[in-house]
Amino acid sequence: MKNKMQKFADKYFIRANEILKADNLNPWVNMQVFVRKGPGKVAGIEEAIDIITNNSNIAEVGGRIYAKTDGGVYKPKETLMNIIAPVQEIMELETVYLGVIAAAMTRQNDNKELDLKAIQRNVEQVVELAGNRPVLYFGARHWHYNMDQAITKAAFDGGVKDCSTDNGGETVGKKGMGTIPHGSENIYAYKFGKERAVVEATKAFDKYMDPAIPRIALVDYNNKEITDTVETAKALEGRLFGGRTDTCGENLAENAKDGDRKYWEGKGVTVESVRALREGLDNAGYQDVKIIISSGFSNPEKVKAFNEGEKMYKMRLYDAIGAGFLDGIRTSTADIVAVGETADQVDFNYGVQQQNIFHKVGRPPRFNPTLERFL
């Protein structure tokens, strides 16, 4: 069954699937979906399920979908859906079904639509603060795909250099860009062990992808941002262009300061965490490896803090920014939380074993027995 939604997918999911196919890796996974902002009424789930079933072979191969029903009530971070399928069936669909849920949840609960002019102004602020460093639009997953081109056009009008989807790139004659998602790192964690996830996923990208594509490792999977970036740089022997740090709000990054100075200390991607990463790379002899920051950088105040940090420490902290620019909505998130050889091995309703639990640090399984089975 052809994925008719591929042009709306973040490019790193498309590339991840190409790599998994080339490496003959297609284990079963449990994809866990939640919305951080709440409580509220559930919306968009039925459309999301239709997208998954109509653009994959999930039904034919015996996949399963458990979910809350539209109109029901949900709590913040409550698991709204578990998708049980071979990873190649669903890898490319994440952008689209997450955007559908986010838009529907926001409209249902906040009676809110997007303001394209406001998005453009927001982009302009961040682009100005970034100076000569590229700003990339990564927000396709944050709203319904039928608005992707309009939002991406606003982002380009605001000054972004690139976007993540081919559909959005069409507005300015470009292709989508992107490298490695956490989802593929989960599969390489399953194959090689969690400690090798970042290195092996990046090695696979380097092996199978066009050499013209920059090798950028996603380095926060293990919450060992410095260790994994250095190890990946060693493994790629000079071919690593950079590391993208996307440390989630649940985690204190490696060697970061645990304090309450906003944007500087504490959990997530902070000035001090990126300073530690830059120093770690420099001390290991990898001064040429770039740092790409994402997670919360559509907020100009956060970018200002990083610029202030550069002045204070007299060092360049970041080389590019990836941001969504759709703040204030009910963003939905998906994480692989289990990997195995059969559907039962990753289905919590059938008793997942510890050896099948695989997830990025900070996003463990949250079993929700109230979900109904849709497939």
Note the pLDDT tens digit of each residue in 108-127.
999 999 999 999 999 999 99
Which residue type sits at 177?
A: M
23 found inside a domain: yes
Residue 351: band (very low, low, confident or very high) from pLDDT cuts 50, 70, 90: confident
Q: Is the pLDDT of residue 67 over 90?
A: yes
**Mean pLDDT on 263-281:** 98
**Cα(177)–Cα(162) distance, integer angstroms:** 7
- Do residues 101 and 181 both lie within one domain? no
Q: Is the pLDDT of residue 48 over 60?
A: yes
Q: What CATH number did the domain enclosing 33 receive?
A: 3.20.140.10
**Mean pLDDT on 350-366:** 94
Residue 308: give the domain boundaries: 125-323
- Do residues 345 and 295 both lie within one domain? no
- Do residues 291 and 159 both lie within one domain? yes
**Cα(314)–Cα(308) distance, integer angstroms:** 10
117 found inside a domain: no
Q: Which position has the token pair 């709203």?
A: 143
Q: Is the pLDDT of residue 133 over 60?
A: yes
Identify the DSSP state of 299. S
**Mean pLDDT on 20-30:** 98
- Do residues 316 and 340 both lie within one domain? no
**Mean pLDDT on 238-253:** 97
**Cα(297)–Cα(295) distance, integer angstroms:** 6
302 found inside a domain: yes
- Do residues 299 and 354 both lie within one domain? no
**Mean pLDDT on 182-200:** 97
pLDDT over 70, % of the chain: 100
- Do residues 303 and 176 both lie within one domain? yes
- Do residues 167 and 295 both lie within one domain? yes
Q: What CATH number did the domain enclosing 297 receive?
A: 3.20.20.70
Indicate yes or no: pTM above 0.95: yes
pLDDT over 90, % of the chain: 98
Q: Is the pLDDT of residue 1 over 70?
A: no
**Cα(178)–Cα(163) distance, integer angstroms:** 8
Residue 327: band (very low, low, confident or very high) from pLDDT cuts 50, 70, 90: confident
Q: Which position has the token pair 């703040």?
A: 327
Identify the DSSP state of 40. E
Mean residue pLDDT across the chain? 97
**Cα(233)–Cα(186) distance, integer angstroms:** 20
Q: Which position has the token pair 């300061």?
A: 257
Number of domains in the chain: 2
The pLDDT value given to residue 3: 81
Residue 283: band (very low, low, confident or very high) from pLDDT cuts 50, 70, 90: very high
- Do residues 312 and 192 both lie within one domain? yes
The structure tokens listed for 142 are: 């944050």
**Cα(40)–Cα(17) distance, integer angstroms:** 34
- Do residues 145 and 266 both lie within one domain? yes
**Mean pLDDT on 134-160:** 98
